[in-house]
Amino acid sequence: MNSSRLTQAMSSSEGMSQIFSPVNTVQRMLDVEAALAQALAAEGMIPQDAAQTILEICVAANIDLKALARDAGDAGNLAIPLVRQLTAQVTARNAEASRYVHWGATSQDVIDTGMVLQLREALQLIRVELAELADALAALAHRYRHVPMMGRTWMQHALPITFGLKAAGWLDAVLRHQDRINSLGQRIGVLQFGGASGSLASLGDQGLAVAHALASELALELPAVPWHGHRDRMTEVATTLGLLTGTLGKIARDISLQMQTEVTELSEPFTHGRGGSSTMPHKRNPVGCAAVLAASGRVPALVSTMLSAMVQEHERALGGWQAEWDTLPQITELAGAALVQLRKVVEGLQVDESRMRANIDLTRGLVMAEAVSLALGRHVGRAAAHELVEAACAEALRSTATLQEVLQADSRVTQHLNTQTLEQLFDPSHYLGEAIAFTDRVLVVHRQRKV
């Protein structure tokens, strides 16, 4: 067993592992061969009984996967030894039918279209997981829409926001990714069928008719022209999933930072054996976030490989196409794994509202300085108010007093802002701006998609 397979649960999901398993990879290529035989028969180019025999033999269980992997190295791709094994299997059943295996196609047609079929399955899984993640984020945004927490910029306390707003920001990004994945599915769901040089010359004047029939068999769109050397479709899958994984990593980063011992506003769901330490019994590590962040760290370099591989030679590539074979499945599996991991984290996320409030109070009111400065500025002018409040902040830092206490002791402030007014100004729930409105706007968009 390859040692990397031992960590597969961290870098792939069960569904993605099945989609890109050796068996399913071979089966999707065989699906293309079977559909090609059916299309050729439909256009009268091969006998119907030959097509039926090929269809019946096109089952991955009939293929020796070890021999296939061994022979692919010398052949240069998987399709050549696969077609060889398939032809032998068909010959054993019907020697006449074996003449028509792989008729009119080239290796890249089978490999590319097989990959398209796998990506179609993978994108459907991602759609489902994205929808479930969106629902979980919407539940968080709604439940905590009024709950103040500390907004942080440059890793420092900034101004109060709500946890609902933070979750709504996460949700808003996920909704955009839903749009991207949906439109991507339409562009990637296309047939690759061009024969040796992209002209289908081997099928004479019936090339387009067979291509139409083959696309119909596989429920794929027929592109205007074969795309052997033009890899923007495949690379768009990579870049789109790269964007998605980046957003998942951003959310995981936020959650893990809020799980730090000094912060402890959030906690991943805890079960026996999850997030522990081999030596420290007290640990509750953010293992789900770690898996997401590992994926978001690996994917950009893989996306770069796909972008570099786009520069291909003439009608068929030397090296660039081959560089995609392992890279694109890895990107898709990592994105799928990160999505599953984050969805589980968000669904079971534990939120400590009291800790969020305590963290707002850590600076003894300094984070409300802007609110006071603006209110005072209406009476004495912005510059004067800023200078006065800035001096009060410095005094609060030098002493053990809160900013509110320092200001209440200053007659230059209290002649304009009485105790009741200062109490309101230092209440973070009174300085949330449009946080709740912004949250509700995102929730409306999410609800509209559920209708």
DSSP string for residues in 84-142: HHHHHHHHHH-TTGGGGTTTT--HHHHHHHHHHHHHHHHHHHHHHHHHHHHHHHHHHHH
Phi, psi (rounded to 5 degrees) for 410 = -110, 115
DSSP for 200-214? -GGGGGGHHHHHHHH
**pLDDT confidence tier of residue 286, bands split at 50, 70 and 90:** confident
Share of the chain above pLDDT 70, in %: 96
Give catalytic status of residue 316 as yes or no.
yes
What is residue 284's predicted lDDT score, i.e. its pLDDT?
73
Segment 145-155 mean pLDDT = 96
Q: Is the pLDDT of residue 276 over 90?
A: no
**pLDDT confidence tier of residue 274, bands split at 50, 70 and 90:** low
What is residue 282's predicted lDDT score, i.e. its pLDDT?
55
Q: In this structure, what DSSP letter does residue 221 have?
A: B
Structure token pair of residue 91: 């010959």
Give catalytic status of residue 278 as yes or no.
no
Burial of 224 (0-12, 13-18, 19+ CB in 10 A): exposed
Structure token pair of residue 337: 């794994």
Q: Is the pLDDT of residue 277 over 80?
A: no
Catalytic option among 84, 298, 316, 364: 316
Region at 275 (left for phi over 0; alpha for psi -120 to 50; beta for the rest)? left
pLDDT digits (tens, 9 = 90+) for 333-375: 999 999 999 999 999 999 999 999 999 999 999 999 999 999 9
**pLDDT confidence tier of residue 283, bands split at 50, 70 and 90:** low
d(C-alpha 361, C-alpha 367), whole Å: 8
pTM for this predicted structure? 0.91
Give CA 142 to chain center in angstroms: 23
Segment 269-291 mean pLDDT = 68
Decide if 146 contacts 161 (C-beta within 8 A).
no
**pLDDT confidence tier of residue 272, bands split at 50, 70 and 90:** low
pLDDT digits (tens, 9 = 90+) for 244-268: 999 999 999 999 999 999 999 999 9
**pLDDT confidence tier of residue 280, bands split at 50, 70 and 90:** very low
**pLDDT confidence tier of residue 93, bands split at 50, 70 and 90:** very high
Q: Is the pLDDT of residue 4 over 90?
A: no
Contacts of 202 (CB under 8 A, 6+ apart): 103, 104, 195, 196
Calculate the average pLDDT of the chain: 93
What is residue 270's predicted lDDT score, i.e. its pLDDT?
74
Segment 86-105 mean pLDDT = 95
What is residue 361's predicted lDDT score, i.e. its pLDDT?
92
Catalytic option among 277, 304, 308, 399: 277
d(C-alpha 403, C-alpha 369), whole Å: 8
d(C-alpha 381, C-alpha 138), whole Å: 42
- Rg of the chain over Cα atoms, rounded to whole angstroms, equals 30
pLDDT digits (tens, 9 = 90+) for 392-421: 999 999 998 999 999 999 999 999 999 999
